[in-house]
Amino acid sequence: MNLASYVAKNALRNARRTVLTVLSIGVSLALIVILDTLLLEITKPAALDEAIPRFVVRHRTSLTMQLPKPYQQKIARVPGVTALTPMDWFGGIWKNEEIENFFPRFGIDPRDFFTVFRDYKPLKPEYLKAMQTERTACLIGDKLVERYGFKIGDRIVIQGDIYPVDLELTVRGIFTGPAAEWLLFNLTYLDELMGGGKRVGTFFGLAETTERVPEVLAAIEAMFRNSEAEVKAETEKAFYLSFVEMIGNIQVLVRGLVTVVVFAIVLIAASTMAMAVRERVREIAVLKTIGFSRGHVLGLVVAEGLLVSLAGGAIGIGVTMAILPNPRIFLSVIGGVAVTGFVGLTLLLASLLLPEWTPGGQVRRLAEIQHWLTRVGPWVSVAGGVTVTTALLLALPPIDWFRFSNGIIPYLNMRQETAVLGAVITVGVGLASSLLPAWSASRMGVLDGLRTVD
């Protein structure tokens, strides 16, 4: 037997306790990964490339107020601005007001839109030419094609809600990009319907470099200070985060929850390790007697704690990474885990509340029930969870995160920084939970250990 197998054998000495600890760490790590992924998707969407020096100019007072169109020529002449394009939110209703039929609709200038949004592009050059020459043409993002099955030539009617006009559009092309879930139509068409557009909601621009963006933003704001419509110029990230701020300081809430969860799993794992060390006091004393040093004992106990923590972390992070992108599978598994936990805790509590076995008929029967709950309860809870998961997989219709979140979250994919965070927390929990018991075991005297009575 080598040291690695000895550590593994010690970790599984009380298999039930170890398995429960591993599952507790796994569920806790899964919760942390889910919360961090959600936070990143809300505050820093994957579609937002901060390396692109893109900025936004809007009305200083409110997004609901528009800017005069002549501002475009003035902003385009600001030193450091390489491209500028108008972009107007149309909103509107497609089919009905149900959230599953909602997707962003923007009026754009097809001549320079894809110059500013250089990370987006039509799948074919003729798609853009069709939009430039046909006033009712529109382009559909490839994500919308996947979601709704749009095809070239489809007619789409958008009923106006913000604007008192309806759009009658024809799909003439498909474009791709990081967040290609928009419908883009020619802003000239909207201007014609409105009898000549004189204002626009926002201008998106491109600076020469990211270093020049602050300088460009300051120059734009100074240019229109004390004008009829003062502007607010900001980076694309700041513009996006202004929407997130409307739902409160979600970062503080999520970070607070993560801290509480980490603290809880450290306590769980530390309790497990303390019990494991306490049960092996004599064994540790024998190890010291045959030549194991304090460092060896310290390393063995810490390695055991890390092994348990890493097993839980691998389960939690790995399973979450696999199921998180698909909300149907994710919700089914979450439902099954919730049922497993509820049934298991209920049966465990019931077994603990029953009186201990003593000679006698009724009490003996209760003790037999207690024994049955203790032995069979975990299997019953697991079977219940598997049943619920299977039923939900069969019952839930195909769905994506965009529809499930009412358009707030387009995707939920674990990112590299989240996986690194989970790995760091896993190692940290293993170290934090085992260092104190390991230190106590390494400092214990041989005679004190051998004198201990089981």
pLDDT at 83 over 90: yes
- Asked if 320 and 30 touch (Cβ cutoff 8 Å), the reply is yes
pLDDT of residue 453: 47
Asked whether the predicted pLDDT for residue 246 surpasses 70, the reply is no
Cα distances (angstroms) measured from residue 305 to each of 9, 18, 32, 41, 52? 13, 10, 20, 33, 45
- Quick one: pLDDT band at residue 399, thresholds 50, 70, 90? confident
Mean pLDDT of 214-223: 93
Under a CB-based contact definition with an 8 Å cutoff, are residues 155 and 183 in contact? no
Q: Which pLDDT does position 407 carry in this prediction? A: 61
pLDDT at 27 over 70: yes
Domain ranges of the chain: 3-45+248-451, 61-229
Helices 327-353, 294-323: crossing angle, 10 deg rounding? 130
pLDDT, tens only, 295-340 = 777 777 788 888 888 888 899 899 998 888 888 888 898 888 888 8
* pLDDT (0 to 100) of residue 166: 92
User: Which of 84-98, 116-130, 241-255, 378-392 is least confident?
Assistant: 241-255
* Cβ atoms of 265 and 20 closer than 8 Å: no
Three-class secondary structure of residue 207 per DSSP: strand
> Could you tell me where the beta strands, DSSP code E, fall in 38-126?
54-59, 67-68, 81-89, 93-94, 105-108, 121-122
Region 192-209 average pLDDT: 87
Distance CA 352, CA 334 (A): 27
Tokens, residue 127? 């798609």
Q: From 107, 161, 97, select the one nearest 139 (Cα to Cα).
A: 107
Residue 297 has φ and ψ, to the nearest 5°, of: -65, -45
Amino acid at residue number 423: A
Given a contact cutoff of 8 angstroms between Cβ atoms, the answer to whether 441 and 273 are in contact is no
Q: Is a pLDDT exceeding 80 seen at residue 164?
A: yes
At 427-450, the pLDDT tens digits run 888 888 888 777 776 766 655 555
Does the structure show a pLDDT above 60 at 416? Answer: yes
Q: Are 410 and 181 in contact (CB under 8 A)?
A: yes
Rounded CA-CA distance 330/412 in Å is 11
pLDDT reading at 149 higher than 80: yes
Kindly list the distances between the CA atom of residue 117 and the CA atoms of 268, 317, 372, in Å, as whole numbers in the listed order.
49, 35, 65
H or E element: which one contains 304? helix 294-323
Residue-level pLDDT at 366: 62
165-200: burial string, b at 16+ Cβ within 10 Å, e else: bebebebbbbbebebbbbbbbbbebbbebeeebebb
3-state secondary structure at position 202: strand
Of all residues in the chain, what percent carry a pLDDT higher than 90? Answer: 24
Between 15-29, 89-103, 283-297, 347-361, the lowest mean confidence (pLDDT) is in: 347-361
Mean confidence (pLDDT) of the chain? 82
Per the CB < 8 A criterion, the answer to whether 232 and 221 are in contact is yes
Question: Which tens digit of pLDDT belongs to each residue from 332-374?
Answer: 988 888 888 888 778 777 766 666 555 554 555 666 666 676 7
Q: Which residue has the higher pLDDT, 46 or 379?
A: 379
Confidence of residue 3 (pLDDT cuts 50, 70, 90): low
Q: What is the pLDDT of residue 168?
A: 94
What integer pLDDT is reported at residue 113 of this predicted model? 93
Q: Are 181 and 144 in contact (CB under 8 A)?
A: yes
What residues contact 239, with CB distance under 8 A and at least 6 apart? 56, 58
H-helix or E-strand spanning residue 376: helix 361-395
Contact 30, 317 (CB under 8 A): yes
Q: What is the pLDDT of residue 439?
A: 76
Question: Tell me, what DSSP letter sits at residue 2?
Answer: -
Angle between helix 250-279 and 294-323 (nearest 10)? 140
SS3 content of the chain, % helix, strand, coil (to 5): 60, 15, 25
Q: Which of 32-36, 235-239, 281-285, 320-324 has the lowest mean pLDDT?
A: 281-285
pLDDT class for 219, splitting at 50, 70, 90? very high
**What's the confidence (pLDDT) of residue 177?**
87
End-to-end CA distance of the chain: 26
Burial class (CB in 10 A: 0-12, 13-18, 19+), 365: exposed
Q: What integer pLDDT is reported at residue 158 of this predicted model? A: 93
Q: Report whether pLDDT(18) > 90.
A: no
